[in-house]
A and B are shown apart, each in its own frame.
Chain A
């Protein structure tokens, strides 16, 4: 699978401070890539460098398979849509007029406007002035601007910022369907991890300008097994057996909580507890949420 975005040793420094440090990003074609990190991690700076809005201190940016330089930058960006930080738009103009300006500057047929308005469900509000739009509507108009020209790549920086839960849900479904509906690859940043978990297939975790993890979300989750929960009829017997065999665990009511372990070892453990008469009635693995994984990574702990 070709990478739609690739960076090699990308750095951005402000004085002695590294905002982004040796970043090697690889965003495969046709996916929604979640770019996750706390505030100040360097997500927006990276995205701005991808769009040529700020100049990297070192390193290369490859968009759509080509190294971006001042000569081909605009040609590459014509195949890209972006929404950085907050949606752009002129309050004294209508939604339709704002889109006309962007379409004109992008060299896109104005008939495209009807399509993108429909995609973001703003057809009925197209003739209202932007200053009368709610924040959610502005965000959707920002997405519509980004979608003009059917770009191969969408770069969205925290597009759900400031939205209410219904708006977030709407935005999530809108973005999630982009690859299938428009064949668009989406790079989306957020610090709302729960939201990302439901949306992305690939993930990159950034902290203090450094990429801590990059790969499929499933791989991250697979490598991030949570505790094992054993529900027993006679937990005291189980606890005693554990202590006798030097296995660390803790009791929560009728459940013993064990650290993550391989499946073979777990099967043997269950068999032994059953033979001891502990009455195993339930085995479950607690899956760490992306949030927990993220916190462990950003706190410098290895992912188990």
Chain B
């Protein structure tokens, strides 16, 4: 497994993986920064506003970003006709495990950047809302879990179709529907795994049309939603592994 991970890192050389994953985080933070964070009326619930805003941004940005990461990771093997050689050198389990490990590391970057960005926004704009480490931690784990779910799903699509268009197409579709799903009935939203950036939110919002002011309030952590995402992650991973194990090359 270690040697396969080393090989994955070698393959990532000149594939510009790091700029891509950093770019995803920067894009999400820049978008979140367009909210009126410095508005004096916002400072009292600054952190809640950032977490809520980032969840909306993630619903748009992350599905396509995860599709790009997932398909790039497998596309390199398809383009290089490499599977028939790799499968004679190492076990399929080790090769798949290394892909999953590298992919997970790449997926981890954006939530970490968002975590750091949220803290940075608090310092820069001097939020008066007390920082809740639990809410931040919850946001981080939920974002990571949904990102990982989408990434593994896109990786599985790439494995199944070899052509990267279905994976990228799904990424575009999920990104477009992810945003709208946030404003649809909760029962419907819960059926869409890529909308779980919203379902796992621990912050609620009320918009007063007369004053045009949004207020944010904490809601109980939807643990069941995180459990659903983690379970789906496991299922998708198992399906991907089954594909790799059984696919004839």
Contacts and interface: CB of A to CB of B under 8 A. Distances in A.
B76 interface: yes
Contacts of A105: 3-4, 7, 86, 89-90
A86 B81 contact: yes
Contacts of A92: 14-15, 76
- The secondary structure that dominates the A interface is loop
Given A74-B90, A77-B89, A102-B89, A48 B84 contact: yes
Nearest to B90: A105
**Secondary structure call for the B interface:** helix
B217 to A, nearest CB: 49
Contacts of A82: 84-85, 88
A93 B82 contact: no
Interface in B91-141: 91
A28 interface: no
Contacts of A53: 84, 87-88, 248-249
B11 A74 contact: no
Contacts of B7: 101, 104-105
Interface residues of B, number: 24
Interface in A81-128: 82, 84-93, 97, 100-102, 104-107
B80 interface: yes
A38 interface: no
Contacts of A89: 80-82
A80 B80 CA distance: 20
Contacts of B84: 48, 51, 53, 82, 84-85, 88
- Classify chain A's interface size: 20 to 34
B10 A104 contact: yes
B82 A106 contact: no
B180 interface: no
Interface string B17-32: 0000000000000000
Contacts of B212: none
Given A88-B80, A90-B82, A77 B11 contact: no
A55 to B, nearest CB: 8
Contacts of A52: 87-88
A304 interface: no
B11 A91 contact: no
A54 interface: yes
A101 B10 contact: yes
A180 to B, nearest CB: 25
A91 B15 CA distance: 10
B199 to A, nearest CB: 38
A255 interface: no
A55 B247 CA distance: 10
Given A97-B10, A101-B7, A90 B80 contact: yes
Contacts of A93: 10-11, 13-14
A101 to B, nearest CB: 5
B76 to A, nearest CB: 6
A120 to B, nearest CB: 16
B6 interface: yes
A295 to B, nearest CB: 30
B14 A88 contact: no
A214 interface: no
Nearest to A155: B88
A189 interface: no
Contacts of A91: 79-80
A207 interface: no
A104 B182 CA distance: 47
A145 interface: yes
Interface of B: 3-4, 6-7, 10-11, 13-15, 76, 79-82, 84-91, 248-249
Which 7 residue pairs spanning A and B have beta carbons closest together? A88-B85, A105-B89, A54-B248, A88-B82, A90-B80, A77-B88, A84-B84
Given A74-B89, A92-B15, A105-B7, 17 more contacts: A51-B87, A53-B87, A53-B88, A53-B249, A78-B89, A82-B84, A84-B85, A85-B81, A88-B82, A89-B80, A100-B10, A102-B89, A104-B7, A105-B3, A105-B86, A105-B89, A105-B90
25 contacts: A48-B84, A52-B88, A53-B84, A53-B87, A53-B88, A53-B248, A54-B249, A74-B90, A77-B88, A80-B88, A84-B85, A85-B81, A88-B81, A89-B80, A93-B10, A93-B13, A93-B14, A97-B13, A101-B10, A104-B3, A105-B4, A105-B89, A105-B90, A106-B89, A145-B85
